[in-house]
Chain A
Amino acid sequence: MKRIFTRISVLAAFCLLTINVALAQNITVKGKVIDGGDKTPLPGVSILIKGTQSGTQTDVNGNYSISAPANATLVFNFVGYTAAEQAVNNQTTINVSLASSTQQLEQVVVVGYGTQRKIDVTGSVGNVKGEDISKQPSVNPVSALQGKVAGVSITNVGTPGASPKITIRGTGTIYGNTGVLYVVDGVWYDDINFLNPADIANISILKDASSQSIYGIRAANGVVLVTTNKGKRGDAVINYNGTVGFQKVTNQVEMANASEYATAVNEAYSLLNPPVAPLFANTNLGEGTNWYDVILRDALVTNHQLSVSGGTEKSTYNLSLGYLDQDGIVKNNNYKRYTARLSNDFQIFDPLKVGYNVTATSSKSKDAPSGIFRALYAASPVVPVFNADGSYGDPNAFNLGNGSNMNPQATLDFFNQNTTKYKVTGNVYAELKFLKNFTFKTSFGGDFGQEEVRGYVGVYKASNTQQNTNSKLDIDRVENRNWIIENTLTYDKKWADHSLTVLLGQTAQRNKLYAINADALNVPYTSEGDLYLALGNAASRSIVDRGELSTFASYFARVNYGYKNKYLINASVRRDGASQFFGSNNLWGNFPSIGAGWVISNEDFMKDQKIFSNLKLRGSWGKVGNAGVPFNPSTETVDQTPSLVAIFGGIPYTGASVRMLVPPTLFWERSAGTDIGLEMGFLNNRLTVEADYYNRKTEQAIFDIPIFKNLGTVNGRLIANQADIRNRGFEFLATWADKTTGGFNYSISGNVGINNNKVMNVTSGDNPIYSGGAGLTSGYLSTRTVNNRPIGEFFGYQVIGVFQTDAEAAAWPGFKKGDFKYADINNDGVIDLKDRVVLGNPNPKFTYGLNTNFAYKNFDLTLDIQGVADVDVFNANLSNRFGNENYTKDFFDHRWTGPGTSNTYASANLAGGLNNAPSSFYVEKGDYIRLRNIQLGYSLPTAIVNKWKMQRLRVFLNAQNAVNIFGYKGFSPEVGGVPTSAGIDTNVYPLFATYNFGVNVTF
């Protein structure tokens, strides 16, 4: 299907390319185009004869020459300047001075279901231009937003093909879908990793509730609006961007070597109760194996992007192709992505425009074993990669126990898993203008995708613990079929001092997911061609499936009114129905918003002042909803899982019963937010400052709280509306942009977001929700979410020292010398879970970025710095011990080895007693600052490239994450996770830097 689609699209594009027909000509017009401000000539300005597709460009000195009908009108267009029109009227010389459009007043921002002049916006909308995204070496468009917008926090994942987590103004939702809503050209998505970053023209981030509320149903965690590139009228423009580079691990954690490891393990054994004889008779084992060196590598990444765009008077087109080939830093790991995108717009009649966008993406990855990074951390350096006889080094031969019984090389060698994804998505639309002020637009969007994970384990034996006796083929396929239809009617009128826009709209959506998982044993392998379930053992074949279906129907309306460009009022209301709530008396939710703005600098009394070139005060309030809750959560359903299959006489029989309690009804989770902002421009808007205060409260958040285990439900939890979550904070953005007469252009922009998160009014009162994953943290729960505290705070023991002698520890049952000494919070003489305290907060308080651009003559330099501050990370890699996992060099060097050696680090017996329980020892500051992106470019002189029939040729070098500064003792303090267990570092993808060489060519 995808292939056919692409073919048709390509054909269509070629047809359009060939209908370019030149028009007749009369006289030759010449002239010069200059900057209206500094009067310097402007090269590369596009000049078009109005109503045709024919035109030209100014040369390096700003001069042009064009043949045009004597009665024609010329249109002058240049990026960053307001377009100008000039009637020819038989003139042969027309000089034009273009006004810079960097004036904020003229900036246009994309908002929900439309665009607004920046000055008319009454909410808080962050904006990032396509060029700032494509300038970064990020292969995922979301990743490129890091540090760009105040209050938007991005956590990268690292795995090739994976999407980063984006949080806007703090975490407001715990349950269900906690991600933001992406709207790409009017179609809704949960993720945009299918997009080629080079296809993006603009990203708008709706941060406050009033701008979000027009997307009521799904906007509780913020909305990201993506506009993709469209063709422009004129000759075909061909663009090629290519980069080649490599990725290298930075900030690698140094682990203990073989001698150190053996010493530490022996010490741990001597400290057990009762003591155990040393495991290693000889601890002088040298360096041993550095597993990171064995498994990780410097990884290549190449990226090619080609686009063709242009158009005639009646139609425009944009075709783009992308290819990405990224190796992972784990050997064998590779990700390839192919993207094709086509958009066409046709002006069928004067009032009617139709168009479509379609994107086809295919990706294939050779996956890395899950858990490989944890395995590398835990792997013992005494185990050789291979023995002298060529067999795999076997941890069991060293009697190391369960925690470190894997040879990561064997894990990697016998791992065979591919993930392939296909997606075809896009929309078709028609836009009709009638009765002068009305526009009716209808759009139908679809999203059809499939993801398949194919895993195969052959028969092998590397050791007793790493062997496979029966081969297994596993296929997991997930299919999405989503559609959305939207109809909007806009009335737009300006008269005298008034401007009025009224929007009415209706949408319907249906999202369907179907997943099927099948496996079979004893599938042979002589080539990948054998990997069919049909070749497996018949009795062993199994198949299960699952599905999800949700539908939404919505109506909305919005009014924007402005008076004299001074007083602005925006108000909207959205009414949503969601199938999740069907059967409750709360099927429909209403989401109103209101915003007001006062452009003080346009007041008469401000006319004579010289300080402000712009001063605007705005305030807004709105409500948004979150339908991202579990499917039919208030319907009690029958549990028929395989674990309820009964066995009688060795034969399985279906078992089913009810093992849940459901709330009698479930209400919409609503979030109400207030935003107050101040926008200022100084020195002719060379300095702009924007400050916002916001207070957002998620009401009746859908939450699961613990219920009595003696009710015997399957998970001991009950979902219901049972808490409020408040996020409150400030955001600042300051930008300085200027150019000198010497031709030096630069801009420096800094932003910072400050957020405070708090859970309130939990219906279960002060009974906390413990989370933070047993498996990650040696079987302990490491976070607590409780009334009047931030979501998912780290929770555990407070280390107040280390017991130096057994005599000192004697008073505390279960403790001995070298163990952490914990504060006995309730003073009962026993250390148990009642003595836990808050240890830290995984929700960052400060996120900030500094983005700069410099251009001088043919050189350009971009430098972006980004960071977070006042955040904590739980170093679960260190605490997660089941036995003889390796130690970090830092721990080895500082560990307690006898009285007086350390009062902060425990002994090597880290898995003993309560030493590996969550404690303040494992909670570290997660603050970091990094040189996110640095790029140096050089554009070859126009004279030279013109000779080569090019418009532009630029070469550049860039580096991402080249410098990272943090105090955290793990690989990276950038740790994601679901809200109630965020910031727990185990198996986190190591931080890596990417260095690229690239070229941009425009024909």
Chain B
Amino acid sequence: MKKNINIQSCLVATALSAMLFAASCKKDFLNVPPQGQQPSITFWKTGDDALKGVNAIYANLRSWDNVAFNAIAIESTGSDEADKGSTPTDATFFNLFDQFTVTSTQGSLEGFWNGQYQNINLCNQVLDKIPNISMDESLKNRYLAEAKFVRAYSYFRLVRAYGNVVLRLHLPRDNSEYNLPQSDKATVYAQIEKDLTEAAAVLPQSYPATDLGRATKGAALGMKAKVAMYQKKWADVLALTNQVMTLGYDLFPDYEKGFREANENSVESLFEVQASLIQGNAAASNSQYSQVQGVAGVMGWGFNTPSAELEAAYETGDPRKDATILFRGETTPQGDLVPTSVPNPRYNQKSYVPFNTRISGFNEGAQQNIRVLRFADILLMNAEAANELGNPTQALTSLNRVRKRARGSNPAILPDVTTTDQTALRTAIWKERQVELAMENDRYFDVIRQGRALTVFGPKGWKANKNEVWPIPQTEIDLSGGLLKQNPGY
């Protein structure tokens, strides 16, 4: 019995000391850092952090909301150049945009809106945080300029689509800055121009191969010209495009080949959204731009198909028709036969990627870059501005330069435009924009800015004083408690 008590005392002592030990180490025990996730207070400290932050901005430009269904619905479906596509009963929400019956609760409105504001948040992270990092100052300034370019581009897409939008130029400091009112269009445009001016002052004209695809001085100036065109600031458009034309850009000789992967970032390119199919990284090969428009059932889903009106818009023999429209039953220059069994007569060839590049488990055509701004657009803007400012000679020179490239080696087609009548020349330039920039998400807002949307889209249901912009997403208005105002007519 004596022995038992000794054992007992020992055991009790051991047990109690175990408890005390457990209690004494509790403080450290509960201090567990996030696993595999870096707390942001340790980020934005080095030049490498700054670089990653800038990289993220470019990456998000190929997100679903920026390039796929929602971008198509907002920027293309309303136009006369594109139809819904796919089978008739598939994704019928596009018809709401095609027939202008969309209302503020439709999901793509919120998706596209969110996509742009995600870009803007990533830019604001860089613009707010990088200035405090101690690093190479010239690199720092370039990073800031790159962020300003993308912020301006995103606000441009927003202001075209929604009119008065919320202007966020900083990260919210606390939750009192969550609910901000809209700014009017003029204020938004002024900010876009300010960002682009500041960006153009810093950005280099070109980059080494390892940085190919970053925003350049030409991209900023060209984008600024486009923004000016949407405000009819013709003198600015002319000056800016003249400046871009001195920067070494040129038209890529072969119109069709200019849209193939081998000729990405060509001499014609001012800005492209960069995408790639990276074996071993399907999640980074996430662009669905080509997939959603690819030949249905063969290389994608077959949406946003070129319309019969677009097909009819080309002049006889214009090779751009065949380069823009992938016809059912045709064999592509790359040797792919589009089966006759596919549901649609036409598909977008500018997003086309040869069928044999398909790798299972990856989005079809994940490698296709998106041409945002091409030198052809600069020339046509230059032509339009010159014409508006009463300089038909320069207008014709720039316009015919675009036609000459399209003509290629066939002198029998696409003769030079010669009219110097301002109205006729304006019409010719607009027509040229339609066919040259077809299926590049330019047409819809281009026609609206030209002020003839009622004529062109009216038969489809477009209404003046309403459809110049789409409705503000209803959820944003609801969350704002009424601070955000809906666009007229919705």
Contact = CB atoms under 8 A, between A and B. Distances in A.
Interface stretch (A358-366, A560-568, A641-649): A641-649
B168 A352 contact: no
Contacts of B330: none
Interface residues of B, number: 112
Interface in B179-222: 179-180, 207, 209-214
Interface string B275-291: 11011111110100000
A665 B150 CA distance: 33
A350 B4 contact: yes
Interface string A627-662: 000011001111111111111111111111111010
A934 interface: no
A767 B178 CA distance: 15
Contacts of B114: 709, 712, 716
Interface stretch (B251-259, B404-412, B422-430, B471-479): B471-479
Interface stretch (A171-179, A695-703, A830-838, A948-956): A830-838
Given A349-B4, A657-B56, A650 B41 contact: no
B89 A646 contact: no
Nearest to A401: B87
Interface in A523-580: 537, 539-542, 545-553, 555, 577-579
A643 B103 contact: no
B30 A631 contact: no
A146 interface: no
A739 B166 CA distance: 78
Given A648-B213, A655-B52, A913-B92, A508 B22 contact: yes
B90 interface: yes
A233 to B, nearest CB: 22
A457 B26 CA distance: 48
A716 B115 CA distance: 11
B121 interface: yes
Interface stretch (A265-273, A872-880, A897-905): A265-273
A710 B188 CA distance: 15
Given A402-B296, A646-B56, A648-B212, A432 B22 contact: no
A487 B33 CA distance: 27
B15 A432 contact: yes
Given A432-B15, A648-B213, A464 B23 contact: no
Contact of B117 (A405, A653, A710): A710
Interface stretch (B57-65, B392-400, B437-445, B446-454): B57-65
Nearest to A460: B360
A23 to B, nearest CB: 24
A520 B359 CA distance: 12
B170 to A, nearest CB: 12
Nearest to B168: A710
A644 B59 contact: yes
Interface stretch (A1-9, A418-426, A467-475): A467-475
A647 B15 contact: no
A396 B478 CA distance: 43
B360 A468 contact: yes
A774 B38 CA distance: 31
B312 interface: no
B15 A442 contact: yes
B478 A912 contact: no
A830 B87 contact: no
A582 interface: yes
Contact of B89 (A268, A716, A780): A268
B178 A711 contact: yes
Task: Name which of A457, A767, A832, A912 has the most chain B CB atoms within 10 A of its CB.
Answer: A832
Interface residues of A, number: 115
A861 to B, nearest CB: 51
Contacts of A273: 95
B31 interface: yes
B52 A401 contact: no
Interface in A378-436: 396-397, 399-403, 405, 430, 432, 434
A708 interface: yes
Given A577-B26, A650-B276, A472 B87 contact: no
Nearest to A916: B92
A579 B30 contact: yes
A351 B4 contact: yes
Contact of B34 (A401, A632, A652): A632
A523 to B, nearest CB: 12
Contact of B87 (A470, A550, A713, A883): A883
Contacts of B23: 506, 555
Nearest to A656: B52
A280 interface: no
A539 B359 CA distance: 14
A999 interface: no
B118 A643 contact: no
Nearest to B275: A647
B471 to A, nearest CB: 10
B365 to A, nearest CB: 14
A813 interface: yes
Contacts of B103: 830, 832-833
Interface stretch (B104-112, B236-244, B315-323, B380-388): B104-112
A640 B52 contact: yes
Given A637-B37, A832-B103, A579 B88 contact: no
A784 interface: no
A666 to B, nearest CB: 14
A272 B94 CA distance: 14
Interface string B32-48: 11111111110100000
A352 B7 contact: yes
A6 to B, nearest CB: 29
B359 A643 contact: no
Contact of A464 (B125, B286, B297): B297
B283 A642 contact: yes
Given A276-B88, A349-B7, A712-B120, A547 B281 contact: no
13 contacts: A508-B29, A553-B26, A553-B30, A579-B31, A579-B32, A638-B38, A638-B40, A650-B276, A654-B52, A656-B43, A656-B52, A708-B179, A883-B89
Given A657-B122, A711-B121, A813-B101, 7 more contacts: A272-B89, A402-B87, A402-B297, A521-B280, A709-B117, A767-B478, A779-B91
* 10 cross-chain pairs, A with B, having the tightest CB-CB distances, nearest first: A712-B121, A401-B87, A833-B105, A642-B283, A655-B55, A655-B56, A646-B55, A540-B279, A649-B212, A712-B117
Interface of A: 268-269, 272-273, 276, 349-352, 396-397, 399-403, 405, 430, 432, 434, 440, 442, 457, 464-465, 467-470, 472, 485, 487, 506, 508, 510, 519-521, 537, 539-542, 545-553, 555, 577-579, 582, 587, 631-632, 635-659, 661, 706-714, 716, 764, 767, 774, 779-780, 813-814, 830, 832-834, 881-884, 909, 911-913
Interface of B: 4, 7-8, 11-12, 15, 18-19, 22-23, 26, 29-41, 43, 49, 51-60, 63, 86-93, 95-96, 99, 101, 103-107, 110, 113-114, 117-122, 124-126, 165-166, 168, 172, 178-180, 207, 209-214, 264-265, 274-276, 278-284, 286, 296-298, 301, 339, 341-343, 358-361, 473-476, 478-480
